[in-house]
Structure 1
Amino acid sequence: MNSHKIYMPPPSNWQDFQTLVGDVAILKYVSESVQEYERQGQKQNGVDVIAESINGDIISFQCKEITKGTITKEVVDCELEKAKNFVPNLSVFFIITTSPRDVHLQDYCNKLNKNGGLGFKIYIKFWDDMIDDINRSRPLLVSSYKYYLEEFGTREKSPSVFNSSSLYSAGIYR
């Protein structure tokens, strides 16, 4: 694990964001089971990435790249309705977004889980959560943000892109 939290910007397009979500899922679930689900234009029932846990639970991820603001309860509800039609039945449905953390959406999802009736659990994860996951895996950090780190290292003329004083001065350590 990295001793410092490195802040990276979200990917610049939804395709790279979806791939990054899959890369994080590989760290947490049965790696051979993780796959991007669908191709552009196909009906995918609210699922962009799918995985299986070690106990056989079906875990799904809906990726929402947001460039301004945050997603709304209406978007959450719309994606939930789609996910209800996914076969096989889901155990856990994650909405992963590039937007900043929003306590109102977290509370909303917690309330949905408490009330039950969905047939699966819903969780919302924000870009800050993704950064935490990426920072827990040095290989993922380097592979996903190699060019970002290389460019930073070049500008700083640092022998190491992980030089802590250079990273602090650039504001990517928090």
Structure 2
Amino acid sequence: MTIYQFYQPPLYWQQFEDLAVQLLAEVHDIPNAQALGRPGQAQNGVDVFGRSRKYGLIAVQCKRLSDLDKNGNPYPGGVISRKFLFDAAEEIKDFPQKVSLWILATTAKRDTAVQLHVEDLNEKWRNEGHSCTAMVWSWDDCVTYLNSFPNLQKRYYRDVIQVNSTRDLDLMIIETIAMAFHRRAFEAPLHIETPRDFLQALEDTQRAMRTGELLDRISRHVIRKSIGGWRRIEDRDWKSRLEEIDLDLRALRTGVGLGLKDGAIGIKNDFLDFSKNMDKARRLEELRDSCIQKLNAILSETDITPI
């Protein structure tokens, strides 16, 4: 019996569209499958297309859904309502070439209601004499295809398929945490930090530690995800030491926040000003350095480059 690997949906719609191109190429043996046009162009409900020997012209519309449950997975069905499906299908009637198979590819989970909507749509098309057939690729279907085509796994989920043990998972989480600490906030002297940027950096770093989600500083998009953060670490020693770092980060955030609130830390020319309380500055610096030292002690036990 083959045990399948589960894969998280891509974080960005461009990645999902690119994956849809490759899925169409592999599943229906269409080497020249391609995306249609560029973002913003009228596409008549088609994002990806290609011509197969069996079906003729196949068109795919991609819908990456942003609504996630508490585990970071798309809700069943998402926004794929009957009206949504029928409206989307109506658009392809204006496509300049005859489409034989239309696929709605979505990051939503497989849902019985949506499958029945597709059957209703196909019956409607048959009654109208429309020769096109519709189907839905849910994310469950995409995962099945990914497990069937090793080249796609390697192309899109290289890090995932290299996980062979709980230690591999631990190292992925620790690497994400290490990346979160590669910030100016943990390198530059505190007195040249702006309050807003410094507190945001601490918050983002703690988020990476607790959830495994690393955000881009500018776009605020998730750029790396190791689900679970330090609480999912299996190695008890590493887990305990990472918890200490998390507590130190919280103390650091609290210290800066309270200092700004009670006036112990001032703001001068938009930068943190510790001239009123140099002892507080020293304690905060020591707390910040302690986080780095403790993390580097863990990294020295791995192949991950220290901070």
What is the CA RMSD across the aligned residues, in angstroms? 2.3
State the 4+ residue runs in structure 1 displaced beyond 4 angstroms.
Answer: 152-155
Deviation digits for residues 121-166 of structure 1, max 9, x if unmatched? 111120000000010011111111013445x4697248xxxxxxxx
Distance of 1:40 and 1:129 partners within structure 2 = 25
Equivalent residue pairs, number? 158
TM-score, normalization by structure 2? 0.48
What is aligned with 2:40? Answer: 41
Distance of 1:46 and 1:97 partners within structure 2 = 13
Distance of 1:48 and 1:20 partners within structure 2 = 12
Distance of 1:109 and 1:65 partners within structure 2 = 18
Deviation digits for residues 87-126 of structure 1, max 9, x if unmatched? 1110010001000111111111112212312441111120
Higher helix share: 2
The structural deviation recorded for 1:34 is: 0.5
What is aligned with 1:112? Answer: 121
Deviation digits for residues 15-65 of structure 1, max 9, x if unmatched? 000110111111123433301001011000000000111146100100000
Q: Secondary structure at 2:3's aligned position in 1?
A: coil
What is aligned with 2:64? Answer: 65
Q: Tell me which moved more, 2-11 or 102-111.
A: 2-11
Distance of 1:56 and 1:133 partners within structure 2 = 19
Gaps of 5+ in 1: 159-169
| 8 Å contact from structure 1 (residues 67, 99) kept in 2 | no
What is aligned with 2:19? Answer: 20
Q: How do 1:19-168 and structure 2 match up within 5 A?
A: 19-55=18-54, 57-68=56-67, 69=75, 70=78, 71-115=80-124, 116=126, 117=128, 118-150=130-162, 152=163, 156-157=167-168
Gaps of 5+ in 2: 68-74, 170-231, 233-307
Q: Considering Cα pairs closer than 8 Å and 6+ residues apart, tell me whether 1 or 2 has the greater RCO.
A: 1
| 8 Å contact from structure 1 (residues 91, 119) kept in 2 | yes
> Identity across aligned pairs (percent)?
25
